[in-house]
Structures are given as structure tokens and as C-alpha cells.
Amino acid sequence: MLKGRSLIEPLDLSKEEMEVLFDLAFEIEDKPETWKDSQRGKLLATLFFEASTRTRLSFEAAMMRLGGSCLGFADSGSSSAVKGESLADTIRTVACYADVIVMRNPKEGSALLASRCSGVPVINAGDGGHHHPTQTLTDLLTIKRLRGDINNICVGFCGDLKFGRTVHSLVKALSGYSGVKMIFISPKELKIPSYLTSSVFKNEKSNISFSETDNLDDIMGELDVLYMTRVQKERFFNEEDYIRLKDSYILTNDKMKAAKKDMMILHPLPRVNEISTEVDDDPRAAYFKQVRYGMFARMALLSLVLGYK
Ligand code: NCD
């Protein structure tokens, strides 16, 4: 089904394919020892032209827990990119060594380009401010695991909705579910791009909807999921704007008093200041559970893309 396919943006997977992936992730979580040799002899290449902690390490952990091996670089400064090699040539080369490539690159569209010159599947681990589909699999898996259902929920996206690729990917993926209300909370300079809302919410008859605000407190009580994000410093053109906007929202225990008792706080991480560390002890804080589900989501994805048994 997914065998041999690349994953560039979230809608490359149908809702049914995502369901298969979630079921497999739960199966792996339940009996990890059954899977420990399932990818023996297979090689994963992780090519990270941009900083990462979770995405790269969770892919590597996922591959190793399936019995496979990893190679790659965490810093493009140590690759031939510094000598001027094109991305296409780097990908063609790595595709001669590895069975699957996971790439993060600051340029929007780079993952699609890589998939077109690769002889093996390419998984997009973030292309600039564009998409981050495996974070979306992580986010949806966490919602499904902790709530049981992804339909009929109100999701608040808060922070940098302009540059945040995890937001862009999750908004697209949620459009496939039913009864989803999205509330976009940001300063006006960091609003969700209109190309995205006009493509996702174009069908007036669909039962998904959105609204926009700059005030988190006003809508806190409506939310089932609060998706916090950091302001994406590396995508700003000038530092003054970043400094002015970086602390627009800071979630504290006091603000959490207005939230539903079963609201879930998600964050793709890294966190900077936008969630005060005092909130970590609140049972509604799910962002470290989310990190764990990210590894199971990636174990399931690698199993499906590479094939198993
Ligand atoms: C995110 C990313 O790289 O887009 N991190 C991640 O992969 N979990 C979010 C971010 O950097 O803010």
C-alpha cells in the first residue's frame, strides 16, 4: 500500500492509509519485541540540512528499534553541500547507499525535488515553512490515542501560524475529518497564510470551519486541543520583529484555569517561552507523551514504506 512511496505532504496519505498506520503504531507500542528484527539489513539515511533534535533522533530510534541501521549527517556543513554540490546530486548519491531517505532542508519544495531524483522513497522531515508530515502523523496519533477520536473536536492553533510548518501540515490533515473547528490564535503579523485557509476551507458545505483571533484567553474554554507553537526565529527577515513578537503568548497555570478539564495541550517542540514549565505538571500537558508517540508513528511509517514480513 505505502511500500516504495515517498511522503512529502500530509495529503499524500489518504485517511484510510493513515488509519492503517495508526493501527500499526498501536500494535508496535503494544508489542515492540515482535518488531525488533523486522527491518534487519535495511538502511535509513537521515540528511538534515537544518537543526533538529526530535525528528532526526526519533527516526533513527525508530529504525534501530526495528532492527535496521542508520547513516547520514546532522549538519550540512559536514556534507559536500559546502563544496557546492546540488541537492539532486546529493540525493542521487545517497539513494545508491540507503533504502529510504529522511530529509530536512530550509528550502520549500526541496523534499518534492529530492523525491523526483531519488531511486528510493524520500520522507520529508520539514521543508522550510512548508510542510512536516511526520509531525502531523505524530500529532494525530497522539489525539487518537488520548481522546479516542479525531472527529468533532475544536482545535486552537496558537503562536507562529505564518511560518510554522507543523501547523500548515496539521491544518491540511484535519480537513479530512468531520466536525472539526479550528481557531487560529496569533498576532496579525503571524496569521495563518490565506492560501492555506482558502484551499482547506473552500467547500462551504463541509462541516469543518475556522475562525481567527489574537486573544487566547477569550476562546480558551472552547478548546479540546490547544496546539502551541514557538515563533520561528530562523524564518524572520529582521531580528527586531522577532524580538517584538516572540513572547506574544505564554501559557501559564493561571491561563489554564479557563480551559476544559479534559483539554489536551500539544506542542511539536522545541519550546522556548510559550509554555511556562509550571504547566508541565498539569495532566492536560501532553507534549512529552506526543514525543513518544512520534517514535511509534515513525516505526509504523518506516515499516509500511519499506514493507515488513
Ligand atoms: C518543529 C519543526 O521543525 O518544524 N519541530 C519538530 O520537528 N518537532 C517545530 C519547530 O521547530 O518549532
pLDDT digits (tens, 9 = 90+) for 264-305: 999 999 999 999 999 999 999 999 999 999 999 999 999 999
* Ligand 1 atom 1, closest CA: 268
Where are the chain's structural domains? 10-132+293-306, 133-290
Could you check whether 10-132+293-306 and 133-290 share the same CATH topology? yes
pLDDT-derived band at 1 (thresholds 50, 70, 90) equals confident
- Give burial (CB, 10 Å; 0-12/13-18/19+) of 272: middle
SS3 225: strand
The number of the ligand 1 atom at minimal distance from the alpha carbon of 125 is: 7
| C-alpha of residue 4 to centroid of ligand 1, in Å | 26
- Whether pLDDT at 161 is above 80: yes
- Which one of 54, 92, 147, 284 is the catalytic residue? 54
Question: Could you give the strand order of the β-sheet that contains 209-213, starting from the edge strand earlier in sequence?
Answer: 209-213, 181-185, 154-158, 225-228, 264-266
CA 119, chain centre distance (Å) = 25
pLDDT in tens, 7-27: 999 999 999 999 999 999 999
Predicted pLDDT of residue 299? 98
**Burial class of 309 by CB neighbour count within 10 A (0 to 12, 13 to 18, 19+):** exposed
Q: What is the pLDDT of residues 42-92, one digit of tens each?
A: 999 999 999 999 999 999 999 999 999 999 999 989 888 889 999 999 999
Going by the DSSP 8-state scheme, the letter that residue 304 receives in this structure is H
Calculate ∠ Cα 20-164-214, nearest 5°.
Answer: 115
Q: Whose CA is nearest to atom 8 of ligand 1?
A: 268
What pLDDT band is residue 203 in, cutting at 50, 70 and 90? confident
Kindly report the number of other CB atoms within 10 A of residue 129's CB atom.
19
Beta strands in 79-197 (DSSP E): 100-105, 122-127, 154-158, 181-185
Q: How many residues comprise the chain?
A: 309
Beta bridge partners of 182: 155, 210
- d(CA 70, CA 98) in angstroms, rounded, equals 9
Indicate whether residue 294 lines ligand 1 (CB < 6 A): no
Rounded average pLDDT over 174-179? 95
Give the number of other CB atoms < 10 A from CB of residue 197: 17
SS3 84: coil
Asked if pLDDT for residue 204 goes beyond 80, the answer is: no
- For the record, the C-alpha cell of 17 comes out as 492509509
- Report residue 259 as a C-alpha cell: 480551559
Supply the pLDDT for residue 303.
98
Given the DSSP bridges, would you call strands 181-185 and 154-158 parallel, antiparallel or unpaired? parallel
Is residue 50 a contact partner of residue 79, using CB atoms and an 8 Å limit? no
Q: Tell me: domain 133-290, CATH 3.30.2350.10, correct? A: no
Rounded mean pLDDT of the chain? 96
Q: Is 132 a catalytic residue?
A: yes
Q: What is the pTM of this model?
A: 0.97
For residue 188, what is the DSSP state?
A: G
Q: How many whole angstroms separate alpha carbon 201 and alpha carbon 146? A: 26
Name the residue with the closest Cα to ligand 1, atom 6.
Answer: 268
Q: What is the mean pLDDT of residues 235-244?
A: 94
Name the nearest CA neighbour of 9 among 102, 125, 181, 163: 125
Whether 104 is a known active-site residue: answer: yes
* 54 in contact with ligand 1, CB cutoff 6 A: yes
Query: Per CATH, which fold does 10-132+293-306 belong to?
Result: Rossmann fold (3.40.50)
